Structure 1
């Protein structure tokens, strides 16, 4: 398994792994209409290109040979989805294909997020995770995160609750 920082020319690889992993993770618990709307709006060429060229965001792709199997997106400054604290780094997304769960791809991506946060001298790292995603919550707790708040994540017509978690560095 290898990691690479995604560049604008990696748009299709990021888009592919983003759509695949998001669908695998959430399709069973959401309506088809909401899923289609979310995938269309959040993983369009324009949206991904904008995110890849944003200097306050970093994408990292986990590769199994030539196949993307997971990815990470972190944000600093005004690119953070909520807190926008100059001393923090947000993990907006860590997703891994289900076939690669338990094979350390998620841990490698998480460790890359820590490396980025430390290289930027951040005080803490934070994220939001769906309250019904027990597996992800356990992963973050195992890695030293604690819950500090909740927020609403709008998914199509559905309002879902995310647990906000942080880890001091």
Structure 2
């Protein structure tokens, strides 16, 4: 699979939203009551994506193949409730289309995110991952992230147990 990586533009936001929704529902949708899932996804409006995109510290990197958007990563200053005194940066989202899993796109997007943190003078990169998303947890652990404790990730009125993970940069 031949992948091209590039920074996102505002014109990419509809494709990012489509991929995010499809990937989230395919991976996690079975965990939630329909109302909780609908309430969660309702927060991802075109306006909300545009507001995020306009945040000066937030960055999106895209992975594209001949079929279009295959994955994306989103980084920003730390928003997670991590207890740290270090300079931090956060991997807020990393999502792939099913066809891109195993292609190396996740590694390329994570490497980009780590480079973003370093370029901003961060000493640590933080993320959260669903406790039972074993594939993602193994991927992050292979890349030097350590479990730093629980985090309640809200999907509607449902609290998932996520794990906060940190990597020293």
TM-score by length of 1: 0.91
Asked whether the 8 Å contact 2:73–2:95 carries over to 1, the reply is yes
3-state secondary structure, aligned to 1:68: strand
Alpha-carbon distance between aligned partners in 2 of 1:13 and 1:152, rounded to the nearest angstrom: 28
Asked whether the 8 Å contact 2:86–2:123 carries over to 1, the reply is no
C-alpha distance 53-86 of structure 1, shift in aligned 2 (>3 A): farther
Asked whether the 8 Å contact 2:152–2:162 carries over to 1, the reply is yes
1:55 correspondence with 2:56:
yes
Asked whether the 8 Å contact 1:94–1:109 carries over to 2, the reply is yes
Alpha-carbon distance between aligned partners in 1 of 2:85 and 2:14, rounded to the nearest angstrom: 31
Alpha-carbon distance between aligned partners in 1 of 2:159 and 2:127, rounded to the nearest angstrom: 18
Computed over aligned residues only, the root mean square deviation of the Cα atoms, in angstroms, reads: 1.7
Number of positions where the alignment pairs a residue of Structure 1 with one of Structure 2: 166
Asked whether the 8 Å contact 1:21–1:70 carries over to 2, the reply is no
Alpha-carbon distance between aligned partners in 2 of 1:67 and 1:2, rounded to the nearest angstrom: 10
1:97 correspondence with 2:91:
no
Which residue of 2 is the match for residue 128 of structure 1?
Answer: 128
Pairwise CA distance, 1:27: 1.1
Alpha-carbon distance between aligned partners in 1 of 2:55 and 2:9, rounded to the nearest angstrom: 10
1:81 correspondence with 2:80:
yes
Deviations 1:84-141 (A, max 9, x none): 9671111111111122211111111101101111111210101111101111110100
Which residue of 2 is the match for residue 40 of structure 1?
Answer: 42
| Structure 1 stretches lacking a partner, 5+ long | none
C-alpha distance 118-21 of structure 1, shift in aligned 2 (>3 A): same
TM-score by length of 2: 0.91
- 1:1-169 aligned at under 5 Å gives the runs 1-41=3-43, 43-76=44-77, 80-83=79-82, 87-169=87-169
Alpha-carbon distance between aligned partners in 1 of 2:64 and 2:134, rounded to the nearest angstrom: 25
Alpha-carbon distance between aligned partners in 2 of 1:64 and 1:94, rounded to the nearest angstrom: 17
Asked whether the 8 Å contact 2:86–2:124 carries over to 1, the reply is no
C-alpha distance 136-7 of structure 1, shift in aligned 2 (>3 A): same
